Amino acid sequence: MIGQFLPQRTRSVPVPPAAASANCGNRFWRVACGCAVAALLAAGAATAQVTINTKTGTVTNGTTGQTINTIDRRYQQIEPTRVPLTKSELDAKTRLELIRLLASEQGFAMRPFPRGRKGLTLVANGKLEPFGEAYLDMVTAEGLSAKPGDRVVLTDVKIDRSRIVFELNGGPDRKHRFLRHIQIGVGPVMDPVVQQDDQEPVGARLTLTFENHVPELTGAEVKALLAPLISFDVKTPVQAFTDTLPAKLKDAILNHRVLVGMSTEMVLFAKGQPDGKSREVEGQMPFEEWIYGKPPQDVEFVRINGNHVIRLEIAKMGETPVIFTKDEVTGLMRTDGTPLEPNGDANTRIAKVGDVQTNPDTEAPATPPSLRKPGETGPIGTATDESDPSGRTGVMRPVQFPKEKPQTQPDANPDASAPPPANTQPPLPDASQPGPPRPQPAPPAGADQPD
């Protein structure tokens, strides 16, 4: 409760060039959804100041004030409404009419609605709580009840002293929480008062708060106050979904065009179900190809990986296929429409931090860490020495096996030119070759003589 009354805080942090990528794991540096913090470093300067708003997650350049990166626009702060409110307190008759009018009313979600008992809190003609990184953390921890563009139903409306509580899609609480533990019966046979329901609630909660009391309101005024979060206009599902998107992305979907960076949901709203699908692997990356159209019509090949379009190929009869690989959607969904990485500035260097995914087929592996300073070489004869005159430098060379050394055993490595070692007997003659007869020993006395 204390944090709600604290002023908005910002921090100016000096970021040295060598340490720009050393804080990727710190929670303070995480903006949202794994988005990398881009640091603008002035040319020739040793350090540069980056201002990080700890409440909104906005990162700006401390020198120029330019916004470097923001969180997803769906989790940003809303624009306050301007609905005129009376100072008179809501009476009992108007209260019943308001509940009767709003109960079971249907609308379309304009922002993600998280599950959980706390839910979102909207101040009348004011701000939304939580927002920014806290909003994203709530959706991540509690789960998502409704995505932008989904239909929501006001299943219950409760009017308190200074707030109106709306239960969406059944609410986040279990029904009959206390009666589920009560059983009635005679003897060993007991029947529960309420049958057990193991299904988890998937609804959400939205609280509309006022300053001191709930003023006299009409149903139209309540809907106008909830317009930043719920739209009660009569729309088609495509209109309800595209109203939550930037203008450029909305026009692309309504004109049935696919852009690189779109999610699969956007592609389905823009083109519908594909005429064919195929799953393939390129290098080490699996992907799914959605095919729209058949010859002689234009054929579009939409390559999807990780629930996002990474490549678009448009093939026309008699023309060279046109291939698009540049992401055009991520910058629109995370900023106010400007690119995430500004280009064209010679004094700007982008330092990407965080978990960087590299393509092993097109990108070289990262250089291993070293204790040497930039430009410092190793000792003579090492693989990193560039001044070795012996030519034994290089990253990868053929393997050279060592030469065999003579063994100490006799006759292991015979050599005709070498003299025979001492204390050795002359070789015995070969029995297969003719030679002088050998002397026979004399027979013993008394032995039979051969004839």
54-111 pLDDT tens trace:
554 555 655 555 555 467 888 888 999 999 999 899 999 999 999 999 988 999 999 9
- 182 in any annotated domain: yes
- 376 in any annotated domain: no
* 3-state class (DSSP) for residue 414: coil
Lowest mean pLDDT among 136-150, 277-291, 310-324, 388-402: 388-402
- 348 in any annotated domain: no
pLDDT at site 48:
47
Q: Higher pLDDT residue, 300 or 361?
A: 300
User: For residue 364, what pLDDT band results from cuts at 50, 70 and 90?
Assistant: confident
Residues 220 and 298 occupy one common structural domain: no
Residue 294 Cα distances to 274, 297, 314, 315, angstroms: 11, 6, 12, 10
Lowest mean pLDDT among 144-153, 238-247, 431-440: 431-440
| Arithmetic mean of pLDDT over the chain | 74
pLDDT at site 129:
92
Residues 323 and 260 occupy one common structural domain: yes
User: For residue 204, what pLDDT band results from cuts at 50, 70 and 90?
Assistant: very high
Lowest mean pLDDT among 36-50, 174-188, 267-281: 36-50
Residues 208 and 261 occupy one common structural domain: no
Residues 102 and 226 occupy one common structural domain: yes
- Which segments of 181-248 are extended strands (E)? 183-186, 189-192, 204-209, 230-231
Residues 35 and 158 occupy one common structural domain: no
Residues 413-445: pLDDT tens digits? Answer: 555 555 555 555 555 555 555 556 666 666 666
Residues 181-193: pLDDT tens digits? Answer: 677 888 788 777 7
Residues 261 and 326 occupy one common structural domain: yes
Residues 287 and 321 occupy one common structural domain: yes
Last residue of a domain, one of 331, 346, 368: 331
CATH code of residue 257: 3.30.1450.10
Tokens of 60: 């700006």
pLDDT at site 39:
39
Q: Which pairing describes strands 106-109 and 59-61: parallel, antiparallel, or unpaired? A: unpaired
Last residue of a domain, one of 232, 257, 292: 232
CA atoms lying within 13 Å on the CB side of residue 419: 3
Residues 224 and 251 occupy one common structural domain: no
Last residue of a domain, one of 275, 304, 331: 331
Q: Which of 128, 103, 89, 102 is nearest to 220 (CA)?
A: 102
Residues 47 and 155 occupy one common structural domain: no
Residues 169 and 258 occupy one common structural domain: no
- 183 in any annotated domain: yes
- 353 in any annotated domain: no
- 449 in any annotated domain: no
pLDDT at site 22:
38
Q: Which of 22, 110, 58 is nearest to 338 (CA)?
A: 58
Q: Which pairing describes strands 204-209 and 120-123: parallel, antiparallel, or unpaired? A: parallel
- C-alpha span between 81 and 136 (Å, rounded): 23
User: For residue 283, what pLDDT band results from cuts at 50, 70 and 90?
Assistant: confident
- 209 in any annotated domain: yes
- C-alpha span between 221 and 231 (Å, rounded): 13
User: For residue 360, what pLDDT band results from cuts at 50, 70 and 90?
Assistant: confident
- C-alpha span between 350 and 98 (Å, rounded): 54
pLDDT above 80 (res 380): no
- 373 in any annotated domain: no
**What number is the average pLDDT over the span 160-166?**
92
Domain extent, residue 141, equals 92-232
DSSP letters of 324-350? E-S--SHHHHHSSSS-SS--S-TT--E
Residues 65 and 104 occupy one common structural domain: no
User: For residue 215, what pLDDT band results from cuts at 50, 70 and 90?
Assistant: very high
Domain count, the chain: 3
- C-alpha span between 359 and 222 (Å, rounded): 51
Residues 104 and 188 occupy one common structural domain: yes
Give percent of the chain above pLDDT 90: 33
